[in-house]
């Protein structure tokens, strides 16, 4: 099965889940005080500032932090930076989120790790050695901590830019982790618009993209052989359509200048190959929607070519459309 969520916890064997945890060692400074981890900051609020316990607490991370869980006394209020906070109040939660935001700003590797999870659901349910769950926090419940991470991921994704090599790393990350997504990041248009932009490609790069999608789908653990076969057949029909066009093309570069067709999808920083790989890891219903939209576009173009008496070209496009429509129906199973 494709991975649908990450359970962020320090004792996870998954590096992403462990390093995104509040116990991970990612030192940061907040209001001139240095903390070894988010957990160190959270637990330090239970102690009076500048005491011996407080001084020890701010230096702890990983399992060492846990020794303060029982030592720290739960209070109804606490003082931080000369301001009194009510435990579990909105201002208390905002303070926690601000601390996490600062940690991410000051630790680019942790931030990059968070952003690499794209829009995958994050949960926080730490497990004991016997696989039972630890009791939920009474101050910052698991659900709230998970929400903080996902909100900050969205916040930082709007202001961070990545090189093409970093984008490729994130696409590779999805492929290796077998993660399915609802959207394709950095592609700021709908599946219908994406289908149109793909069809605005020349037939050869379009066929290449479909071939890449089928290749990526074939590698997945829960791949559907029928979907892969149908997309490959659609690809073959589009290549045949390209063969029908070639005799009429004398200068492809000159044609590109005059034509609406392109070799690369416009209005995105992703390459055709990167978009193809991302499409292959869309969630099942989203992949179905995309294939259906592309099949509709192919059908309309087939009809247009039929009225221009381009019968052979029209037939190949119609066959490609039918294969993609079949593939979209198979994904419903």
Q: Is residue 178 part of a domain?
A: no
Q: Is residue 166 part of a domain?
A: no
Q: Residues, the chain, total? A: 333
Cα distance between residue 248 and residue 30, in whole Å? 67
Tokens, residue 180? 């399915």
Give yes or no: residues 204 and 309 share one domain: yes
Element (H, E) at 286: helix 284-307
Tens digits of per-residue pLDDT, 310-328? Answer: 899 899 999 999 999 999 9
Instruction: Output the pLDDT for position 167.
Output: 55
Q: Is residue 167 part of a domain?
A: no
Please tell me the total count of domains within the chain: 2
Tokens, residue 10? 């320090």
Residue 202 to residues 137, 245, 249, 284, 298, Cα–Cα distance (Å): 56, 10, 12, 27, 13
Q: Is residue 181 part of a domain?
A: no
What is the DSSP code (8-state) at residue 181?
B
Alpha-carbon dihedral sign for residues 212, 178, 270, 259: positive
Least trusted range by pLDDT, from 74-78, 139-143, 252-256, 274-278: 252-256
What is the pLDDT confidence band of residue 333, given thresholds at 50, 70 and 90? very low
DSSP letters, 199-232, are HTB-HHHHHHHHHHHHHHHHHSTT--HHHHHHHH
Residue 306 has pLDDT above 60, yes or no: yes
What is the DSSP code (8-state) at residue 251?
-
Instruction: Output the pLDDT for position 1.
Output: 33
The larger pLDDT score, comparing residue 115 to residue 151, is at 151
Mean pLDDT value across residues 81-87: 91
Residue 67 has pLDDT above 90, yes or no: no
Tens digits of per-residue pLDDT, 164-180? Answer: 566 556 655 555 554 55
The larger pLDDT score, comparing residue 140 to residue 228, is at 228
Q: What percent of the chain has pLDDT over 70?
A: 80
Instruction: Output the pLDDT for position 177.
Output: 54
The larger pLDDT score, comparing residue 270 to residue 232, is at 232
77-80 and 121-123: which strand pairing? unpaired
Burial of 291 (0-12, 13-18, 19+ CB in 10 A): buried
Give yes or no: residues 198 and 254 share one domain: yes
Give yes or no: residues 214 and 153 share one domain: no
Q: What percent of the chain has pLDDT over 90?
A: 29
Q: Is residue 296 part of a domain?
A: yes
Mean pLDDT value across residues 108-123: 83
Residue 71 has pLDDT above 80, yes or no: no
Cα distance between residue 210 and residue 243, in whole Å? 17
Mean pLDDT value across residues 242-271: 73
Cα distance between residue 281 and residue 21, in whole Å? 26
If you count DSSP H runs as helices and E runs as strands, how many of each does the chain have, helices first?
15, 6
Instruction: Output the pLDDT for position 162.
Output: 58
Q: Is residue 214 part of a domain?
A: yes
289: number of CA atoms within 13 Å, CB side?
12
**Residue 154 contacts by C-beta under 8 Å, 6 or more apart in sequence?**
none
Tokens, residue 272? 């055709």
Instruction: Output the pLDDT for position 332.
Output: 43
* Global pTM value: 0.52
CATH number of residue 93's parent domain: 1.10.357.40
The larger pLDDT score, comparing residue 170 to residue 109, is at 109
Mean pLDDT of the chain: 81
Q: Is residue 217 part of a domain?
A: yes
Q: What is the extent of the structural domain holding 70?
A: 5-160
Cα distance between residue 128 and residue 134, in whole Å? 6
Mean pLDDT value across residues 253-272: 72
Instruction: Output the pLDDT for position 28.
Output: 95
Instruction: Output the pLDDT for position 319.
Output: 95
Give yes or no: residues 84 and 153 share one domain: yes
The larger pLDDT score, comparing residue 135 to residue 38, is at 38
Instruction: Output the pLDDT for position 187.
Output: 59
């Amino acid at each position: 099965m494709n991975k649908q969520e990450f359970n962020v916890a320090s004792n996870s064997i998954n590096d992403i889940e462990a390093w995104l945890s509040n116990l991970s060692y990612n030192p940061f400074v907040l209001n001139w005080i240095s903390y070894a981890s988010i957990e160190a900051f959270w637990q330090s609020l239970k102690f009076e500032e500048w005491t011996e316990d407080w001084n020890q607490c701010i230096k702890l991370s990983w399992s060492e932090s846990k020794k303060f869980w029982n030592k720290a006394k739960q209070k109804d209020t606490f003082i931080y930076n000369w301001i009194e906070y009510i435990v579990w109040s909105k201002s208390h939660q905002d303070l926690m989120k601000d601390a996490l935001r600062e940690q991410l700003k000051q630790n680019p590797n942790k931030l990059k790790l968070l952003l690499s999870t794209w829009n995958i659901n994050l949960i926080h349910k730490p497990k004991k050695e016997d696989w039972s769950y630890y009791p939920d926090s009474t101050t910052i419940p698991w659900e709230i901590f998970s929400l903080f991470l996902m909100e900050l991921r969205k916040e930082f994704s709007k202001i961070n830019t990545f090189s093409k090599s970093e984008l490729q790393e994130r696409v590779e990350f999805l492929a290796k982790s077998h993660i399915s997504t609802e959207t394709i990041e950095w592609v700021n248009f709908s599946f219908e618009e994406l289908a149109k932009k793909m069809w605005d490609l020349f037939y050869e790069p379009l066929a290449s993209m479909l071939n890449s999608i089928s290749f990526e789908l074939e590698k997945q653990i829960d791949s559907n052989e029928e979907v892969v076969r149908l997309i490959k057949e659609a690809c073959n029909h589009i290549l045949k359509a390209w063969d029908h066009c070639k005799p009429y093309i004398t200068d492809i570069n000159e044609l590109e200048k005059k034509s609406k067709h392109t070799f690369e999808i416009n209005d995105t920083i992703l390459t055709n190959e990167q978009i193809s790989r991302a499409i292959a890891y869309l969630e099942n219903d989203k992949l179905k929607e995309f294939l259906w939209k592309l099949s509709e576009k192919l059908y309309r173009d087939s009809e247009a070519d039929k009225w221009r008496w381009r019968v052979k070209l029209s037939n190949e496009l119609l066959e490609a459309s039918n294969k993609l429509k079949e593939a979209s129906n198979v994904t419903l199973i």
